[in-house]
Amino acid sequence: MGMGDVDPVFIQAPEHRPKPSVILAEGIPLIDLSPINYHEEDTVSDPYAIKGLVEEIGRACKEWGFFQVINHGVPLDKRQRIEAAARNFFALSLEEKKKVRRDEINVLGYFEAEHTKNVRDWKEIYDFNVQEPTYIPPSVEPIDKDVIQFKWDNRWPQNPPEFREVSQEYAQEVEKLAHKLMELIALSLGMPAKTFRGFFKHHTSNIRLNHYPPCPYPHLALGLGRHKDTGVLTVLAQDDVGGLEVKRKSDGEWIRVKPIPNSYIINVGDMIQVWSNDAYESVEHRVMVNSEKERFSIPFFLKPALYTNVRPLDELVNEEKPPIYKPINWGEFRTSRLRSNFVKSNVENVQIYHFKVAK
């Protein structure tokens, strides 16, 4: 049975079968995904358990915009290998890392912050796309090669030698988890599980390796300033040092997310906020620096095809709840945001609220 085939009413469970549990870890919902029990793609072994899981996912998306997951199905060895590769890469000399440095034409690769007393974001990163190469701009589907201006290729370093292989293997696994979560989110909104699948045929998802060195000026810098994620869904692996903080919707307080071994931190992005017509909200978060320990994290950013026009889904709008947003072309939206990384401007980055329908 596929997730899209599960009746929203579901079957009555035996009394001895436990409901999926959700606990709070430093205030952030922790959700056990073991009820999914995927043996094959899109296979659900326990429809009743999925009903409870869907409800908890929906509640976490609505009340927090953030949650953690355990028993997620990503093999531990795949995660350990990419974490080791990241540590080995960032341990290389700056000269070696700069061989794969990003630029204004190709935004993939290595980037380092200038470690001075005036720096705000205290980190270095390496980005690679899950689907490669990425053609720019695929404005229509199918991609018209005659209108391609350029393409993004991943800039794979030669060292460490296993870097590319372990990165690609990990990407395949975490992408599967992201799509499972999108099915659960679709069900939580009362829609078929595969509602969002069509938006990711030529997806622009990427993985970022983050390294936050110890900061001697913790009062002057953040590992990453307060922001919201522009994409669809973020699946974050963090080490045991921690530092991620989430702005709680209920009172605006900043909540530190407690590191839990082999868990993933999930947060809703701007595009889910638009698709859900504000039912689920993208939430501000930031990363605090550590004066004594270095920190590593690996976020996977699920992003749609560049030609996707994101707008509130028809099933979620009516006369009482009209569309809140005008269509947003993801390619144009993302390109505008990326351009700001290289061109200093006094103009605010484009935000989804700029697309709100005037009342």
Mean pLDDT of 257-272: 95
Integer angstrom CA distances of residue 158 from 12, 183, 210, 355: 55, 37, 19, 43
Question: Is residue 105 a part of any domain in this protein?
Answer: yes
Does position 324 have pLDDT exceeding 70, yes or no? yes
Question: Is residue 35 a part of any domain in this protein?
Answer: no
Range of the domain at 271: 74-355
Query: Residue 226, Cα to own-chain centre: how many angstroms?
Result: 16
Is residue 256 helix, strand or coil? Answer: strand
Give the tokens for residue 16: 């001895």
Q: Range with the lowest mean pLDDT among 13-27, 49-63, 144-158? A: 13-27
Residue 302: give its domain's CATH number: 2.60.120.330
H or E element: which one contains 328?
strand 328-329
H or E element: which one contains 177?
helix 163-188
The rounded percent of the chain whose pLDDT value lies above 70 is 78
Largest CA distance in the chain: 63
Q: What is the spatial distance between Cα 184 and Cα 314, in angstroms, rounded to a whole number?
A: 19
Question: Is residue 14 a part of any domain in this protein?
Answer: no
Integer angstrom CA distances of residue 239 from 64, 97, 101, 124, 209: 22, 22, 25, 16, 12
Question: Is residue 46 a part of any domain in this protein?
Answer: no
Q: Check residues 183 and 103 and name the one with the higher pLDDT.
A: 183
Integer angstrom CA distances of residue 208 from 151, 215, 329: 19, 20, 23
Q: Check residues 29 and 307 and name the one with the higher pLDDT.
A: 29
Q: Shortest CA distance to 308 belongs to which of 143, 72, 119, 156? A: 143
Amino acid 158: pLDDT: 95
Question: Is residue 88 a part of any domain in this protein?
Answer: yes
Span 184-230, pLDDT tens digits:
999 999 999 999 999 998 899 999 999 999 887 766 666 677 889 99
Amino acid 242: pLDDT: 87
* Number of domains composing the chain: 1
Question: Is residue 251 a part of any domain in this protein?
Answer: yes
Give the tokens for residue 54: 């869907």
User: To the nearest whole number, what is the mean pLDDT of the chain?
Assistant: 83
Q: What is the spatial distance between Cα 107 and Cα 333, in angstroms, rounded to a whole number?
A: 15
Is residue 301 helix, strand or coil? Answer: strand
Answer whether 38's CB lies under 8 Å from 73's CB.
yes
Question: Is residue 41 a part of any domain in this protein?
Answer: no
Amino acid 221: pLDDT: 66
Question: Is residue 6 a part of any domain in this protein?
Answer: no
Q: What is the spatial distance between Cα 138 and Cα 303, in angstroms, rounded to a whole number?
A: 14
Q: Which amino acid is at 31?
A: I
The top-scoring range by mean pLDDT among 248-257, 282-291, 308-317, 344-353 is 308-317
